[in-house]
Amino acid sequence: MAYFLQQLVNGLTLGSIYALIAIGYTMVYGIVGMINFAHGEIFMIGAFISLIFFVVLGALGITWLPLALLLVLLIAMALTAVYGWAVERIAYRPLRGSFRLAPLISAIGMSIFLQNYVLLVQGAHEKTLPPMITGGFDLMQSGGFVVSVSWLQLIIVGVTLLLMAVFTAVIRLTPLGRAQRATEQDMTMAALLGIDVDRTISLTFVIGAALAAVAGLMVTLQYGVIDFFIGFLAGIKAFTAAVLGGIGSLPGAMLGGLLIGLIEAFWSGYFPSEYKDVAVYAVLILVLMFRPTGLLGRPEVEKV
């Protein structure tokens, strides 16, 4: 029971991170109808920028933790958002209206490019960051096994929930959210009614990248080890989360993220952990085969 609970805690933490990345996939898919294959790399870049600025701020003498965290969070979100914007502007916007596979191939090219760019400018070795936020509390104890929850895990889940709430409010209540929903339903009609479609799509990528940067920061804090290759796996898992929850649906992305995190944590806890990635891929394949709309998605109508 205690072991189960511990895996639950770990799974929820991991799931929060996946959920933040999954939002980027699901929003872009909802609006533009393409898989932003480079989104995992955006997350990786967010993690790198976070790590770099932790080190830089430390060197500048800003060591009061809440201030440093806040600054890194804001800087990482802003700079990663520029990456998200640039990727859309360079690799996707010129291809709107091109043949079907063009944006996807371009996205794969972008993903390869970004991965090797970071490899080239930051090196192939793993980067480590000493633990910043330590401590926690014991949730319960049974049979000599202690279920512990670290403050960091609480912060991760808390920040994720907060961002989700803010984000849902943005989509529901603001003019930007209205424009996004209109563009999602019918791009041409939205443009005719005076919505700047290009700007709306750009902002979608910017928001997605900023959320991915938060996920990157959290991974850097929680695991302390990053390298240029982390975006690939995290990207696929977050995409699986988006598909599982129903691609295009925001609550779906959150639900899917948490479920994937839990699946991974419980698989590592009870089955051979080398195969935990296989478990996630299997979920992806099974969901796409038997319920392509996911748990909360709407069925897609194929139009001529």
Partner 1 sequence: MRWAPPLKDAGCAALVALTLAFPLIGFQTSDAGVGFTTRFAWVGVAAVVVFVGRLLLGFAPQRFRLHQRGVRSTAVSDGKFVKLAAAALIVFAVLLPVTPLASRRSIDLATLALIYVILGWGLNVVVGLAGLLDLGYVAFYAVGAYSFALAAQWYHLSFWEMLPLSGMTAAMAGILLGIPVLRLRGDYLAIVTLGFGEIVRIVLNNWTAVTGGPNGVGDIPRPTVFGMPIASGAPVGVTTFNQFVGIAYDPMQRLIWLYYVALAVALAINWYSLHIRRLPVGRAWEAMREDEIACRALGLNPTTIKLSAFATGAMTGGFAGVLFAARAGFVSPESFNFQESATVLSIVVLGGMGSQLGVALAAVILATLPEFGREFAQYRMLIFGAAMVAIMIWRPRGIFTVRAPSVRLDRP
> Is residue 236 involved in binding partner 1 (CB under 8 A)?
yes
Q: Which of 22, 72, 77, 110 binds partner 1 (CB under 8 A)?
A: 110
* String marking each residue 176-215 x if it binds partner 1 according to CB under 8 A: ----------------------------------------
Phi first, then psi, for residue 18 (nearest 5°) are -60, -40
Stretch that binds partner 1, among 82-90, 177-185, 193-201, 262-270 (CB under 8 A): 82-90
Contact call for residues 60 and 287 (beta carbons, < 8 A): no
Exactly one of 45, 187, 207, 296 binds partner 1 (CB under 8 A); that residue is 45
Part of the chain binding partner 1 (CB under 8 A), chosen from 5-13, 135-143, 157-165, 273-281: 273-281
User: Per CB under 8 A, which of residues 4..43 are in contact with partner 1?
Assistant: 34-35
If the CB atoms of residues 120 and 173 are measured against partner 1, the closer one turns out to be 120
Q: Which of residues 141-180 bind partner 1 (CB under 8 A)?
A: none
Of 164-172, 215-223, 236-244, 256-264: span binding partner 1 (CB under 8 A)? 236-244
Tell me how many residues contact partner 1 (CB under 8 A): 71
- Non-local (6+) Cβ contacts of 287 within 8 A are 240, 243, 244, 294
Instruction: Please give the radius of gyration of the chain, using alpha carbons only, rounded to the nearest integer.
Output: 19
Q: Identify the CA nearest to 29 among candidates 172, 179, 163, 180.
A: 180
Angle at 243 between CA 237 and CA 248, to 5 degrees: 125
From candidates 18, 43, 167, 239, binder to partner 1 by CB under 8 A:
239
302 binds partner 1 (CB under 8 A): yes
Q: Is 232 in the site for partner 1 (CB under 8 A)?
A: yes
154 Cα distance to chain centroid: 18
In terms of Cβ atoms closer than 10 Å to its own Cβ (0-12, 13-18, 19+), residue 276 is: middle
Shortest distance, position 261 Cβ to partner 1, whole Å? 18
CA distance 233 to 276: 12
Determine which residue in the list 148, 277, 293, 295 makes contact with partner 1, applying CB under 8 A: 277
Contact segment (CB under 8 A) with partner 1 among 65-73, 161-169, 249-257, 267-275 equals 267-275
**140 makes contact with partner 1 (CB under 8 A):** no
Q: Give Cα separations from 63 to 53, 56, 129 (angstroms).
A: 12, 11, 14
Q: Are 207 and 5 in contact (CB under 8 A)?
A: no
DSSP string, 69-97: HHHHHHHHHHHHHHHHHHHIIIIIGGGTT
